Amino acid sequence: MKLPHIVLAAAVVVCALASLSPAATYYVDASGGDDSRDGLSPALAWKTIAKVNGSSFFPGDQILFKRGEVWRESLVPPSSGSSVNPIRFDAYGSGDAPTITGYQDLPAANWTLDTGNIWKASITSTSFNYILFQGSIWGLKHTTKASCVAPYDFYFASNVLYVYSIGNPASYYGSVAAMLMTNGQLIYINGKTWIEIQHLKLSYYDSYGLRIGGASDHITIANVYADGVIPAGALPHGFFINSTSNPSDINFYNVDAHRNYDGFRFMGAAGAITMRNCRAYGNRNYGLEDTSTGGGASYDYCHFYGNGIGVLPATDVSGGNAGTHNLPQYTAPATVNFQRYPARITLTEDDPGLADAGAYVDSWLPEFDARGVQPSIAIVTGYDTASQSIPKFQEWINAGRDLNSHSWSHQYFQQPAAFTVKYAGAGTAATLSISGNLLTTQITGGPGGENLSLDLTSSSYNTLSKLWSTIAGRGGYTVTPDPNCKGPAHSITLADVGAQDIKGSSGYTLQIQESRLIPDEMATSKAWMTANLTGLSATRVYVYPGGQEDTSTEGYAVASGYAGARGALSMSGVKDVYARGVNIQNITSLGANVPLIGLTAAEMDARIAALVWKSSVWGAPYGIFWHTNELTPTEIGNLLDALIAHGATIMTNTQLVSWLSSQSPVSGTTSYVATASGPELDFRPTLQSPVVDAGVDLGAGYGSDLLGVDQAVFGAAWDIGAFAYISASPFVVVVR
């Protein structure tokens, strides 16, 4: 633990390093600087990073950025140092760390009315893809100004930003900010060696916080904080290495990488990458993803938590070489604040009706009742079991349970094989055709009377099982159902074919067509529930079998009258969050069948704590589900206890869909955005944080944290991360 002790970066850098080299020290001050000066003292500081990038430096030179200042430019070190005298980029003065950011606020004075409800502001930029409204809503970019017809719509052309707004955007939305340096990086070390970077904060970037490329080597990054924030698909990466020279000496010391796609992403050939005392929290894919060859990353005394927001188990690390002092997975970080959004989570038993699940469901319902919450139950309606279960289904509805449609037959469209037909009679040739609702065969030769003409809507063969039984019962034909085909699926879901040979040795395998299957499954299951059950919600929800869905099925769900759907088994693009838009027709489904089975109460608590943490940080709703006999009633009780203990908002699927539909729609999509309800995130450690005193001493040259707290003054050990714990900070830390 560290007591309040702030060491000014100027003293640390100038005094500690002056003995190493008599080379020059340059100062950069975004507010008070002037690029026409020599930059050799704080009073004569340069102003811009562009001036730094355009200058030449010698081994041992230092370039110091003033604390409390903000730059919206990319830093590209122009020169290399030497083994004895690296070139150092660092901080001076007091206050918050120097910040390099893509965030550009656009206050009321920047805006003028263009026409109608379109307002414009001038921005010098080649392009950009992200506008932040209200501090937590990412706008929808359009390709024409005329397309901006709804809140959060924007268009950019010729250095002019156009947004939809009823009145001045700064007033209408509360705040508007453009994200600059699109498709770039805040710091780019390209083909340089012997570079050291310390005490900088990087935020709001859509591609890379710090990127190392080309023939770069002998690089040390220390006490740097990278917070990407922007949910830009498979980017951004906090710290990215793709060097061409098989570097043997790249070091990350007390570095933080949060809210990126990957916190640390290493590619290409790399002889040695060292990570010590690093943290990576809440990255959408991995905390560390290392696919490099030649040795790769060695990480020790590190902490990874809450990474991988698209799946239930944490995906903290992939690749790399772990040391023995890393904090164990699922060790909660205990930061100042992570609750940006309520963690909305639903719990569902899938498949009753596909098989008899009444006794099993009744065995765990008391766990919900004891805690005052309700489950969802997703039923399959096309089997005899479903008809036999109508009294039980109605009993559940009467008790306040949320029943959803889980299809008619549970047939997967991604496994389209239905059954194989082969003609084995005396005829010399045989073909099969399907056109619309009519299946026909044409037999050449043979005894005659073997041609088929079957109306697929007939009750005699309107399901696949009836159809293949009918064909098999006709002389001269053999039928082999595919093992994955569901017999109750309707025959009208088969794809059209023309004159396919069924005389050959392999016959012909009929295929199910997605555009016929899914609308039928949705409509018939919904109609069955309406006809056989009372007290159903007017807000109907669909639950995709096996999580198999795509953009087409989303349209079918809307056409079938479903307000929303619990969808794929992982988050689409790992970016369906409230800030960018949650697809109401594809709410992420998380299966409990592997991650949660057989856990102790403590193990369940740790895994669910991480899930709630991810949901709270990013604003991602989840639908946890299980099948008959996968979880015991005790395990379900432990699951509920963990969700409640960690502050989750437990909802039914219908409640979640109803709430989401009341938020702001993203024009032209089935997605909805919602503003953050909690304060800005603050990942500084608290007294209870496991990173306090859990790091390793890396030497005096790296002993001051991001804010200038000297790790070596108090406490027996260093803390993990860019922030050392102090009982109270004299600075207000903002992410800008």
Q: Within a 13 Å sphere around the CA of 492, how many CA atoms are in the beta-carbon half? A: 15
Kindly state the average pLDDT of the residues 489-512.
97
What integer pLDDT is reported at residue 714 of this predicted model? 66
- Select from 528, 582, 577, 590 the least CA-distant residue to 404: 528
pLDDT digits (tens, 9 = 90+) for 549-598: 999 999 999 999 999 999 999 998 899 999 999 999 999 999 998 899 99
**Does the pLDDT at position 721 exceed 80?**
yes
- What token pair was written down for 522? 């949705």
What integer pLDDT is reported at residue 3 of this predicted model? 45
- What token pair was written down for 661? 């539909």
Q: Is residue 678 part of a domain?
A: no
Confidence tier at 728 by pLDDT (50, 70, 90)? low
Q: Is residue 720 part of a domain?
A: no
Kindly state the average pLDDT of the residues 649-664.
99
Q: Is residue 669 part of a domain?
A: yes
What integer pLDDT is reported at residue 726 of this predicted model? 84
Confidence tier at 736 by pLDDT (50, 70, 90)? very low
Burial class (CB in 10 A: 0-12, 13-18, 19+), 117: middle
Whole-number average pLDDT of the chain? 95
Kindly state the average pLDDT of the residues 20-32.
88
What integer pLDDT is reported at residue 727 of this predicted model? 73
Q: Are residues 212 and 243 in the same domain?
A: yes
Helix axes 358-371, 633-645, angle to 10 degrees: 30
Q: Are residues 323 and 189 in the same domain?
A: yes
Q: Which helix (H) or strand (E) holds 391?
A: helix 390-398
What integer pLDDT is reported at residue 734 of this predicted model? 47
Measured distance CA(119)–CA(104) in Å, rounded = 17
Q: Is residue 491 part of a domain?
A: yes
**Does the pLDDT at position 1 exceed 90?**
no
**Does the pLDDT at position 20 exceed 70?**
no
64, 13 Cβ separation under 8 angstroms:
yes
The distance from CA 663 to its chain's CA centroid, rounded to whole angstroms, is 20
pLDDT digits (tens, 9 = 90+) for 522-547: 999 999 999 999 999 999 999 999 99
The H-assigned helical ranges of 594-719 are: 601-618, 633-645, 653-661
Q: Are residues 172 and 192 in the same domain?
A: no
Residue 321 CB neighbours (<10 A): 13
Q: How many helices (H) and strands (E) does the chain have?
A: 12, 51
Q: Are residues 172 and 191 in the same domain?
A: no
pTM of structure: 0.93
- Domain's final residue, options 330, 364, 389: 330
Q: Are residues 265 and 317 in the same domain?
A: yes
- Domain's final residue, options 272, 296, 330: 330
Measured distance CA(565)–CA(685) in Å, rounded = 38
Q: Is residue 48 part of a domain?
A: no
What integer pLDDT is reported at residue 243 of this predicted model? 86
Q: Are residues 168 and 60 in the same domain?
A: no
- Domain's final residue, options 474, 497, 512: 512
**Does the pLDDT at position 184 exceed 60?**
yes
Residue type, position 361, single letter: V
**CATH code of the domain containing 564:** 3.20.20.370
- What token pair was written down for 698? 């890396």
Cα-flanking dihedrals φ and ψ of residue 343, to 5°?
A: -90, 95
Q: Is residue 705 part of a domain?
A: no
What integer pLDDT is reported at residue 271 of this predicted model? 82
Residue type, position 483, single letter: P
DSSP state of 629: T
- Secondary structure string (H, E, C) spanning 526-550: HHHHHHHCCCCCCCCEEECHHHCCC
Q: Are residues 66 and 170 in the same domain?
A: no
Measured distance CA(655)–CA(348) in Å, rounded = 13
Q: Are residues 91 and 123 in the same domain?
A: no
- What token pair was written down for 145? 């100004």
720/4: higher pLDDT = 720
3-class DSSP state for residue 341?
coil
- What token pair was written down for 178? 């453009």
What integer pLDDT is reported at residue 245 of this predicted model? 85
Q: Are residues 222 and 92 in the same domain?
A: yes
Q: What are the residues whose beta carbons fall under 8 Å from the beta carbon of 59, sequence distance 6 or more?
A: 21, 23, 80, 81, 82, 84, 85, 86, 87, 194
Measured distance CA(17)–CA(81) in Å, rounded = 14
Q: Is residue 710 part of a domain?
A: no
Count the domains in the chain.
4
Domain that holds residue 225: 16-23+53-101+181-330
**Does the pLDDT at position 615 exceed 50?**
yes
299, 330 Cβ separation under 8 angstroms:
no
Q: Which residue has the tokens 């740790």?
A: 606
Give how far Cα 326 sits from Cα of 61, 247, 297, 336, 373, Å: 35, 24, 14, 21, 38
Confidence tier at 13 by pLDDT (50, 70, 90)? very low
Confidence tier at 450 by pLDDT (50, 70, 90)? very high
Q: Are residues 453 and 497 in the same domain?
A: yes
Give how far Cα 663 sits from Cα of 137, 142, 287, 459, 467, Å: 12, 21, 31, 44, 46
- The share of the chain scoring above pLDDT 90, in percent, equals 91
Measured distance CA(26)–CA(303) in Å, rounded = 35
The edge-to-edge listing of strands for the beta sheet with 671-673 is 582-583, 671-673, 664-665
pLDDT digits (tens, 9 = 90+) for 213-230: 999 999 999 999 999 999
Q: What are the residues whose beta carbons fall under 8 Å from the beta carbon of 455, sequence distance 6 or more?
A: 437, 438
Q: Is residue 493 part of a domain?
A: yes
Q: Are residues 170 and 301 in the same domain?
A: no
The distance from CA 332 to its chain's CA centroid, rounded to whole angstroms, is 19
Q: Are residues 173 and 138 in the same domain?
A: yes
